Amino acid sequence: MKIIIKDNQAGFVTKNGLFVKMITAGIYHFSKTLGYQVQIEEMSGEVNYLDVPYQILAQDENFCKATIHMEIPDGYAGFLYVNDNLHSLANRREYTFWNVYEKYSIKLISMKQPEISPEVSKQMLAVVPVRMYKTAAIGDGEVGLLYYNNIMQRQLSKGIYSFWNYNTEVAVKIFDKKQQKLDIVGQEILTKDKIGIRMNLVCMYRIGDVEKFVEKITNLKEQLYSCVQLVLREQTGNYKLDEILELKEQISKEVHKSLKQKEKEYCVEILDVGIKDIILPGEIRDIMNTVLVAEKTAQANVISRREEVASTRSLLNTAKLMEDNKTLYKLKELEYLERICDKVGEISVSGNGSLIEQLGKLMETA
């Protein structure tokens, strides 16, 4: 039996089913009658001849020179490189590659520590199946709490974090620390003078100590809503209706001050509180409208009388001036005659006296 092995090939020689040796490029003769067989394989990529265990093949010097064998221990991820370029994730325990025309290597990364180390690049992580790791993204104004097996480890600031799903249960709880708004709508209040009103209030807040917050608080908005309700009732209940309408800003400041004292209890920071609207009952609103109309009418009357007094005083001053100055009197007389002439279409004049004198007599008799 004549066997020809090309330059890029290798032959595995067996006799009666037992591995004898590996042969490289050349021409060989073997006798089939003596039980020899030769299996030819190209020396590229992974070694496919696995009918014989690697430990037996490794006893052949030619095989050891032409191949590289790599094992991936438990708790490690192997990244396969071909000619120093990342190829894929090595997801089996053992690999044997031809190392003649191509260079193969495996980079081992430990998965025993849950957090994926910085040496694992984004390109490397892209070849890892998603079931093997998880990622947490912390955005602007957010804080994350990292847990291993339900035990809190540390806070995470803004960034992207990746963790192995190997032997540790990893969880990340993300909290928004940006300013948030809580609306208290239609809150019913009984004033000091026993008048029922409704108020709309807005409260601006943000989460404070997240570690204490996660230990103490469940459903923050619901609890904070109830707290703001109670404080609002307590503060506004000390005022009469007229005082509430007049001191709206002051009451808002008092509510804010009271809520600031409860910040540690709710693990928040109260930034601002303001009363938006005060809604009166229908009958009270009608009474207030009537009072407002009466006040505005009284103000209008006062202004009207003031204007009348000013006008009369002006006439009196003018009269005194004309009494003391005959020329001014004549000028004023001519001014009024001019106004009369503008209104009259036709004037008949007799021969007695001058035109101005006759017009003056007409004005006196009018």
Look at residue 354 and tell me whether its pLDDT is greater than 70: no
* Local confidence band at 332 (pLDDT 50, 70, 90 cut-offs): low
Looking at residue 337, its pLDDT comes to 65
* Local confidence band at 1 (pLDDT 50, 70, 90 cut-offs): confident
Which of 4, 89, 94 lies closest to 47 in space, CA to CA?
94
| Lowest-confidence pick of 84-93, 120-129, 235-244 | 235-244
Look at residue 353 and tell me whether its pLDDT is greater than 60: no
The fraction of the chain above a pLDDT of 90, given in percent, is 46
Report the pLDDT averaged over residues 73-84: 93
Report the pLDDT averaged over residues 159-170: 93
Look at residue 109 and tell me whether its pLDDT is greater than 90: yes
Q: What is the mean pLDDT of the chain?
A: 85
CA distance to 23, 53, 66, 219, per residue, from 62 (Å) = 7, 16, 6, 71
Q: What pTM does this model have?
A: 0.66
Looking at residue 365, its pLDDT comes to 53
Report the pLDDT averaged over residues 237-261: 89
Sheet strands side by side (includes 170-176):
151-156, 142-148, 170-176
Looking at residue 331, its pLDDT comes to 67
Looking at residue 162, its pLDDT comes to 95
Looking at residue 306, its pLDDT comes to 80
Looking at residue 245, its pLDDT comes to 84
Side-chain half-sphere CA neighbours of 97 within 13 A: 18
Looking at residue 360, its pLDDT comes to 59
Over the stretch 181-209, which tens digit does the pLDDT of each residue have? 999 888 888 888 888 888 899 999 999 99
Looking at residue 329, its pLDDT comes to 64
The fraction of the chain above a pLDDT of 70, given in percent, is 83
Q: Which residue would you say has higher pLDDT here, 347 or 238?
A: 238
Q: Which residue would you say has higher pLDDT here, 233 or 289?
A: 233
Looking at residue 88, its pLDDT comes to 93
Look at residue 80 and tell me whether its pLDDT is greater than 90: yes
Look at residue 15 and tell me whether its pLDDT is greater than 60: yes
Looking at residue 174, its pLDDT comes to 94
| Lowest-confidence pick of 46-50, 175-179, 348-352 | 348-352
Report the pLDDT averaged over residues 5-9: 90
| Lowest-confidence pick of 33-47, 93-107, 221-235, 307-321 | 307-321
**What span, in angstroms and rounded, lies between the C-alpha atoms of 47 and 95?**
8
Report the pLDDT averaged over residues 85-105: 91
Report the pLDDT averaged over residues 263-285: 84
181-280 CATH: 3.30.479.30
Over the stretch 131-142, which tens digit does the pLDDT of each residue have? 999 999 999 999
Over the stretch 251-270, which tens digit does the pLDDT of each residue have? 999 999 999 999 999 999 99
Report the pLDDT averaged over residues 263-287: 82
* Local confidence band at 326 (pLDDT 50, 70, 90 cut-offs): low
Looking at residue 304, its pLDDT comes to 76
